[in-house]
Amino acid sequence: MTFIEKLNHSWCESNSLLMLGLDPNPDRFPAELSGRSGAIFEFCKGIIDAAATFACGVKPQIAYFSANRAEDQLEALCGYIRDHHPKLPIVLDAKRGDIGATAEQYAREAFERYQADAVTVNPYMGFDSLEPFLAWRDKGVAVLCRTSNPGGSDLQFVKSSNDKPLYIHVAELVSRRWNTNGQCALVVGATFPEEIGKVRQRVGDMPLLIPGIGAQGGDIRATVAAGRDSRGAGMMISSSRAILYASPEDDWREAAARIARATRDAINAAR
């Protein structure tokens, strides 16, 4: 099954557009995990087992694993998800981008080592930097377009000569030229719903990966109104910290489940 097929199935079966983001920061773990070896795996496993039923997919952020010398725990976690939550697509959030020969290695990292279903990539280096990812034809490739952070405007809002901002140029490049195999998605931040709408207008039913609700403060109603596709789906709306760190106490799993369910419901109420 391709990433897009798996995602479509998951949207239907889970009745959720919530993407469960995994940004495991050991400084914020509950006391029972503090200082334990394998704590990153255990924390993520606890969150997934409690909250994954309210999500359409899982998005581990590789930086948190790499900074903590925990690539082995990320491998184990991806294996655990495949074994115990096989219907949930895994989107590796890595934002890779490099020349072709190097991008081949990054594609192997994402798809061979971690066996992710999709990976996030950075478009700054252009099409040939994404081709090695696209060569994995069953996999998904989510291209940064309009990011959720304030500084995103520094480049993404640069107006080209026909008055088109760079993020629109990227959306058009991806939808009209780069997505020849129908495996691409675009990353657009929930903090800018107006721009989500402009992207949606141009890309048909291409899936959008939308971070920025939760800790970053994006508005769910505006996001869903702007981002839904022709079937009322088409979005992976990601929340990480608001769910992961819902409680610092022993009830961290239940608290994560509660917030995940409430977030799913708030998204569905806006569909």
- Please tell me the distance from the alpha carbon of residue 9 to that of residue 5, in angstroms, as a whole number: 6
Is the CB of 155 or the CB of 269 nearer to a second copy?
A: 155
Catalytic one of 45, 87, 95, 198: 95
Amino acid code (one letter) for 152: G
Rg (CA), the chain: 18
Q: Which amino acid is at 100?
A: G
At its nearest, how many Å lie between a second copy and the CB of residue 85?
Answer: 24
Please say whether the dihedral angle defined by the alpha carbons of residues 220, 222, 226 and 230, taken in this order, is positive or negative.
positive
254 neighbors 245 (Cβ within 8 angstroms)? no
Concerning whether 95 is annotated as a catalytic residue, the answer is yes
Residues engaged in binding a second copy (CB under 8 A): 23, 25, 61, 63-64, 66-67, 69, 71, 95-103, 105-106, 108-109, 112-113, 122-129, 144, 147-156, 158-161, 163, 166, 169-170, 173, 211, 216, 241
What burial class does residue 180 get, using C-beta atoms within 10 Å of its C-beta: 0-12 exposed, 13-18 middle, 19+ buried?
A: exposed
Whether residue 132 contacts residue 100, with contact meaning beta carbons closer than 8 Å, is answered with yes
Distance CA(270)–CA(174), nearest Å, equals: 28
Give least dist CB 100 to a second copy, A.
Answer: 7
Q: Which residue from 231, 128, 238 is spatially nearest to 189, judged by alpha carbons?
A: 238
Distance CA 223, CA 271 (A): 10
Nearer to a second copy, 80 or 157 (CB): 157
Smallest distance from the beta carbon of 217 to a second copy, in angstroms?
Answer: 12
Q: How far is the CB of 109 from a second copy (least distance, A)?
A: 4
- Nearer to a second copy by Cβ, of 52 and 92: the residue is 92
Q: How far is the CB of 202 from a second copy (least distance, A)?
A: 16
Looking at beta carbons only, is 6 or 117 nearer to a second copy?
Answer: 117
By beta-carbon proximity to a second copy, the closer residue of 31 and 63 is 63
Cβ proximity of 146 and 156 under 8 Å = yes
The least CB distance from residue 176 to a second copy, in Å, is: 12
Tell me the angle at which helices 220-227 and 252-269 cross, rounded to the nearest 10 degrees: 50
Sign of CA dihedral 121, 257, 227, 15: positive
Nearer to a second copy, 51 or 144 (CB): 144
Enzyme catalytic residues: 95
